[in-house]
């Protein structure tokens, strides 16, 4: 293939690449909103920062012009101007038109890759209405201009600069056809440049905003140590001088600064190749693990705490501010916003480095480790005390009517306890009928899962861990035992409504026992009742009768004898009554019979309960013998 054919083929490829950037800008810069717009600026700045990290650049100037064009100028080596042997164009043109060329053919240690930065200045070029690059090398100044990524003319020599030996200056105007807005904001650019000056000690960054007239210089001799001092300005700190550690080899640079303040928060800021990793990652986790390890080891070695005591991560991080500045060759940024470091090997490398360097530091700073351990112990004690207090409050609150009412409670509309009634109903189906049949103005229904209650009845002593009982306590709102507050009771009639069978009797006994032991006053005040559902329904022609006992059934049948054939239905459970029947027979205040529970009855139930559930075999046997007939009857 002839040279010129090769060149033509290459430039077609290049143009196709830049076309794609313009067609799908979000694939390269994340979005075309304000965020994407500012990525352009940082992309260009990153290239100059790379040059500074490589040790060839000491000064970067960023200018926002009135028309929102931006100039980034550095005094690095300058993008190579010689003709690229394969591509046949200048290095400058390659850097600005070839995707992912990035201008870095030297394989230099840490330049940005992955993430949203690091896509290369060619992307900025493709998304700019125009871009002008000026390169100075050996005092010779070169220039090239582009329009929407395409060169207007090849790189040309335009003169000499006596004061500048080398450097790169790029001016670009973001393309209004691409971006939702091209308003470059000081509030976004300025803090980032400031941060970059801290992350790159002894690099001078000049920021000029011609739109606002602002000119500022950011320069830090101490780097991240100055950074943490600024964060902690005016605060009480420990130790007085921040702890600084550093580890560096061929393709790994790590520096960390840490210091405590008297607050309770943790401020961990990590950066990888100058990019903030807000979602953390392997470098952060390596640091945390090492810090916890070293502080515990030191505390034990120096016998500052007993062997069995472990300071947790929570204890150690309270009031901690730390800045991690990591540079590696091939960072893998993960997550939606590419703000978490994923490189697996980084964790162990950071861990080892921090452990070694921090131990070295503490070996020479005994006073500092003593004070830090003291602070962590204090944090631990405070945390344990706080947890205890919280648990106590929680335990109280769970039985307190301060939170929400249970979902199972169908409450009444009145707020006046004097007229309000609570029906405690055995079983969900009877509960459903009661909800439909009630007068919702003053009658509330709390269904209890009878089976569960019944199975758990033996554990009355753990009654407070039973969800059904908890619901009951919360519904009543008045607390229990010593904390029982009658003024808070939400219903002045509490009515137990259970089936007329042996399970129902068990549950009634359990509830009576509960009230007797936990809310005795409720009984003493005469608020507790037992509903009397009918046992039989007698239908004679169009007339309906209800009988509440066998005697009553006999009496009714006698009375209506001769009027025809009576249909008798025995109710085996509340669930067999429809809502209307339940209302008529058991809930309508005008027609129902409810029995007020006396203390004597509740006490009897409590004794009965103990007798039936307790461990005392002898009295139980005697009881069953004495009441054998009743028990048999109940079980039918
Ligand atoms: C490739 C090689 C060299 C420097 C650069 C790129 C470079 C790129 C940019 C972008 C903005 N400022 C920059 N400064 C330098 C090294 C050239 C050499 O070896 O002399």
What confidence score (pLDDT) does residue 196 get?
97
Domain boundaries, the chain: 2-218, 224-384, 421-533+595-630
Which residues are catalytically annotated?
426, 499, 501, 503
Rounded to an integer, the average pLDDT of 266-292 is 96
For ligand 1, atom 2, name the residue with the nearest CA. 104
Cis ω on the peptide bond leading into residue 239 (within 30° of 0)?
yes
Which residues does 329 contact at the CB level (< 8 Å), separation at least 6? Answer: 109, 110, 251
In the chain, % helix, strand, coil (3-state, to 5) comes to 45, 20, 35
Rounded to an integer, the average pLDDT of 254-259 is 98
Tell me the CA–centroid distance for residue 247 and ligand 1, in Å: 26
Tens digit of each residue's pLDDT (9 = 90 or more) over 1-53: 555 666 666 767 776 789 999 999 999 998 999 999 999 999 999 999 999 98
Higher pLDDT, 419 or 572: 419
Cβ(120)–Cβ(101) under 8 Å? Answer: yes
Given a cut of 60, whether residue 437 has pLDDT beyond it is yes
Given a cut of 50, whether residue 435 has pLDDT beyond it is yes
Tokens of residue 498, six digits: 């259970």
Which residues does 389 contact at the CB level (< 8 Å), separation at least 6? Answer: none
Tens digit of each residue's pLDDT (9 = 90 or more) over 408-422: 999 999 999 999 999
Higher pLDDT, 336 or 314: 314
Tens digit of each residue's pLDDT (9 = 90 or more) over 525-536: 999 999 989 989
| CATH code linked to domain 224-384 | 3.30.230.10
What confidence score (pLDDT) does residue 3 get?
56
What confidence score (pLDDT) does residue 215 get?
98
Higher pLDDT, 590 or 118: 590
Higher pLDDT, 269 or 402: 269
Cβ(143)–Cβ(133) under 8 Å? Answer: yes
DSSP string, 383-422: HHHHHHHHHHHHHHHHTSTTSPPPTT-B--S---TTT-EE
Strand partners, 595: 530
Tell me the CA–centroid distance for residue 199 and ligand 1, in Å: 20
Judge if the beta carbon of residue 77 lies within 6 A of ligand 1.
Answer: yes
C-alpha to C-alpha distances, 490 to 385, 410, 514, nearest whole angstrom: 35, 13, 18
Tell me the CA–centroid distance for residue 604 and ligand 1, in Å: 95
104 CA closest ligand 1 atom index: 1
Q: How far apart are CA 151 and CA 7, in angstroms?
A: 14
Computed over every residue of the chain, the mean pLDDT equals: 87
Judge if the beta carbon of residue 106 lies within 6 A of ligand 1.
Answer: yes
DSSP string, 285-305: HHHHHHHHHHHHHHHHHTTSS
Tell me the CA–centroid distance for residue 78 and ligand 1, in Å: 5
| CATH code linked to domain 421-533+595-630 | 3.40.50.670
At 611, is the pLDDT very low, low, confident or very high (cuts 50, 70, 90)? Answer: low
Tens digit of each residue's pLDDT (9 = 90 or more) over 274-283: 999 999 999 9
| CATH code linked to domain 2-218 | 3.30.565.10
Judge if the beta carbon of residue 47 lies within 6 A of ligand 1.
Answer: yes
For ligand 1, atom 5, name the residue with the nearest CA. 79
Given a cut of 90, whether residue 635 has pLDDT beyond it is no
What confidence score (pLDDT) does residue 633 get?
32
Tens digit of each residue's pLDDT (9 = 90 or more) over 351-410: 999 999 999 999 999 999 999 999 999 999 988 887 877 666 555 555 454 557 898 999
Q: How far apart are CA 246 and CA 237, in angstroms?
A: 21
At 507, is the pLDDT very low, low, confident or very high (cuts 50, 70, 90)? Answer: confident
168 CA closest ligand 1 atom index: 12
Rounded to an integer, the average pLDDT of 103-111 is 45
For ligand 1, atom 3, name the residue with the nearest CA. 79
Given a cut of 50, whether residue 114 has pLDDT beyond it is no
170 CA closest ligand 1 atom index: 11
Is 2-218's fold the same as 224-384's? Answer: no
For ligand 1, atom 17, name the residue with the nearest CA. 80
For ligand 1, atom 8, name the residue with the nearest CA. 79
Given a cut of 60, whether residue 609 has pLDDT beyond it is yes
Tell me the CA–centroid distance for residue 59 and ligand 1, in Å: 14
pTM of the model: 0.63
What is the b/e burial string over 244-276, where b = at least 16 CB atoms within 10 angstroms of the residue's CB?
Answer: bbebeeeebbbbbbbbbbeeeebeebbbbbbbe
At 629, is the pLDDT very low, low, confident or very high (cuts 50, 70, 90)? Answer: very low
Mutation probe of ligand 1 site: the residue of 103, 105, 135 with most atoms within 8 A of C-beta? 103
Pair type for strands 567-570 and 421-426: unpaired
Tell me the CA–centroid distance for residue 443 and ligand 1, in Å: 83
For ligand 1, atom 10, name the residue with the nearest CA. 47
Cβ(425)–Cβ(573) under 8 Å? Answer: no
Mutation probe of ligand 1 site: the residue of 53, 77, 125 with most atoms within 8 A of C-beta? 77
What confidence score (pLDDT) does residue 631 get?
37
Judge if the beta carbon of residue 79 lies within 6 A of ligand 1.
Answer: yes
Rounded to an integer, the average pLDDT of 417-445 is 95
Given a cut of 60, whether residue 223 has pLDDT beyond it is yes
Tens digit of each residue's pLDDT (9 = 90 or more) over 136-148: 999 999 999 999 9
Judge if the beta carbon of residue 51 lies within 6 A of ligand 1.
Answer: yes
Q: How far apart are CA 517 and CA 173, in angstroms?
A: 81
**Which of 121, 206, 210, 135 is CA-nearest to residue 172?**
121
Tens digit of each residue's pLDDT (9 = 90 or more) over 148-161: 999 999 999 999 99
Judge if the beta carbon of residue 76 lies within 6 A of ligand 1.
Answer: yes
The three state secondary structure string of 309-343 is CCCCHHHHHCCEEEEEEEEECCCCEECCCCCEECC
Q: Residues of the chain with pLDDT > 90: what percent?
A: 65
């Amino acid at each position: 293939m002839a040279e010129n054919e090769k060149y033509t083929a290459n430039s077609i490829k290049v143009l196709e690449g830049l076309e794609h950037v313009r067609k799908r800008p979000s694939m390269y810069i994340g979005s075309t909103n304000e965020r994407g717009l500012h990525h352009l600026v940082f992309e260009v700045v990153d290239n100059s920062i790379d040059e500074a990290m490589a040790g060839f650049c000491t000064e970067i100037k960023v200018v926002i012009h009135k028309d929102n064009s931006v100039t980034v100028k550095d005094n690095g080596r300058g993008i190579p101007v010689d003709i690229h042997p394969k591509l046949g164009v200048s290095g400058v043109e390659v850097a600005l038109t070839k995707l992912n060329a990035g201008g870095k053919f030297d394989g230099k240690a840490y330049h940005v890759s992955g993430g949203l930065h690091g896509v290369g200045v060619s992307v900025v070029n493709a998304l700019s209405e125009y871009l002008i690059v000026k390169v100075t090398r050996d005092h010779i100044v070169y220039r090239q201009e582009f329009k929407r990524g395409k060169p207007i003319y090849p790189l040309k020599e335009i003169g000499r600069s006596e004061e500048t030996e080398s450097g790169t200056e790029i001016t670009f105007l973001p393309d209004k056809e691409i971006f939702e807005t091209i308003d470059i904001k000081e509030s976004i650019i300025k803090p980032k440049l400031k941060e970059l000056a801290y992350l790159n000690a002894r690099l001078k960054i000049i920021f000029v905003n011609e739109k606002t007239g602002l000119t500022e210089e950011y320069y830090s001799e101490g780097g991240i140590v100055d950074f943490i001092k600024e964060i902690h300005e005016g605060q009480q700190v420990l130790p007085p001088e921040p702890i600084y550690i550093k580890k560096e080899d061929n393709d790994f640079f790590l520096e960390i600064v840490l210091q405590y303040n008297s607050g309770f928060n943790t401020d961990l800021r990590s950066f990888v190749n100058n990019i903030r990793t807000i979602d953390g990652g392997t470098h952060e986790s390596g640091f945390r693990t090492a810090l916890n390890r070293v502080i515990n080891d030191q505390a034990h070695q120096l016998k500052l705490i007993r062997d069995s005591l472990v300071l947790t991560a929570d204890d150690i991080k309270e009031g901690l501010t730390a800045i991690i500045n990591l540079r590696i060759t091939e960072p893998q940024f993960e997550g939606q916003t590419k703000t978490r470091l994923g490189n697996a090997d980084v964790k162990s490398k950071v861990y080892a480095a921090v452990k070694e360097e921090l131990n070295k530091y503490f070996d020479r700073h005994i006073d500092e480790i003593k004070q830090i351990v003291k602070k962590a112990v204090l944090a631990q004690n405070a945390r344990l005390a706080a947890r205890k207090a919280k648990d106590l409050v929680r335990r109280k609150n769970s039985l307190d009517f301060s939170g929400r009412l249970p979902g199972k409670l169908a409450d009444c509309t009145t707020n006046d306890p004097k007229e309000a009634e609570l029906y405690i109903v055995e079983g969900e189906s009877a509960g459903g009928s009661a909800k439909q049949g009630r007068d919702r103005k003053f009658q509330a229904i709390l269904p209890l899962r009878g089976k569960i209650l019944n199975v758990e009845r033996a554990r009355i002593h753990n009654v407070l861990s039973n969800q059904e009982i908890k619901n009951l306590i919360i519904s009543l709102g008045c607390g229990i035992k010593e904390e029982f507050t009658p003024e808070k009771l939400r219903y002045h009639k509490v009515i137990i409504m259970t089936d007329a069978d042996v399970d129902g009797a068990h549950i009634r006994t359990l509830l009576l026992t509960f009230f007797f032991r936990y809310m005795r006053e409720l009984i003493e005040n005469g608020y507790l009742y037992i509903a009397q559902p009918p046992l039989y329904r007698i239908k004679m022609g169009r007339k309906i009768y209800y009988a509440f006992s066998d005697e009553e059934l006999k009496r009714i049948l006698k009375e209506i004898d001769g009027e025809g054939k009576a249909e008798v239905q025995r109710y085996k459970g509340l669930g067999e009554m429809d809502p209307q029947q339940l209302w008529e027979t058991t809930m309508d205040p005008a027609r129902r019979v409810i029995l007020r529970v006396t203390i004597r009855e509740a006490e009897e139930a409590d004794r009965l309960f103990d007798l039936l559930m307790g461990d005392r075999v002898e009295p139980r046997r005697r009881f069953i013998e004495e009441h054998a007939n009743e028990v048999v009857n109940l079980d039918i």
